[in-house]
Amino acid sequence: MGDPLDHEYALPVRDVEQDNAILHVFRESGHRVTSQRLTLLNVLRQQARFLDAETLYHIASQRGTALSLATVYRTLALFKDMGLIEGRLVGDEQDREEYRFRSLRETYTLTCKRCGAIVPVEPDIVDAFRRELTASLGVTILTAHSCFVGYCANCTAALAAEEAPGESRDLASTPH
């Protein structure tokens, strides 16, 4: 039969490691990879943002997948139980839920304020912080959303070089 993730709606750029991890999750949970499930999962993977069930339904329908809105809701509940997606409550009354694909490996970045560079942050650093929070506060962290803003290594060096002459002048002008 071939790879269940080799489907007409598969991502243009395959992430084989992620595909294998998804297949493992399905196998471990005893659920089949159906074309409807695969379509919804790939829409979430491609969008990489939070979407509500109705939007997912419309995108999947536009791609020619025959499914009902009820199927979308049931599939999203299954994906949540399997840990493949995460949800957040939105709306004035927190009465609607939006969903996004939960990367099986969390990634973090720092955005440089000066040049706009995106610098990868090692997940181990954030994981250590998560463990420290768990130990010190006695909480359970299910997911983390971190936003790092600062200066990349090049801009940090450039800023230090810009400050260095000013510091020398200040040191020279201060009485001993």
Q: Which structure tokens are listed for 24?
A: 């493992």
Reported for 32-37, long-range contacts at CB under 8 A and 24+ positions apart, including other chains, are 33/4, 33/5, 35/7, 35/65, 36/60, 36/65, 36/67, 36/71, 36/75, 37/75, 37/78, 37/79
Q: Are residues 90 and 130 in the same domain?
A: no
102-128 pLDDT tens trace:
875 567 788 899 999 989 887 778 878
Q: Which structure tokens are listed for 51?
A: 């979407």
* pLDDT under 50: residue ranges of the chain: 1-13, 168-176
Domain with 127 in it: 108-173
Determine the pLDDT at residue 47.
84
Per the listing, tokens 């600062």 go with: 150
Give me the CATH number covering residue 68: 1.10.10.10
Residue 165 in any domain: the answer is yes
Among the candidates 101, 126, 161, a domain finishes at: 101
Q: Are residues 55 and 113 in the same domain?
A: no
Determine the pLDDT at residue 8.
42
Q: Are residues 154 and 115 in the same domain?
A: yes
The 3-state secondary structure of 98-141 reads EEEECCCCCCEEEEECCCCCEEEECHHHHHHHHHHHHHHHCCCC
Is residue 63 a contact partner of residue 9, using CB atoms and an 8 Å limit?
A: yes
Phi, psi dihedrals of residue 45, rounded to the nearest 5°:
-65, -40
Phi, psi dihedrals of residue 126, rounded to the nearest 5°:
-70, -40
Determine the pLDDT at residue 55.
94
Determine the pLDDT at residue 151.
95
Task: Give the pTM.
Answer: 0.55
Q: Are residues 93 and 130 in the same domain?
A: no
In total, how many domains does the chain have? 2
Give me the CATH number covering residue 162: 3.30.1490.190
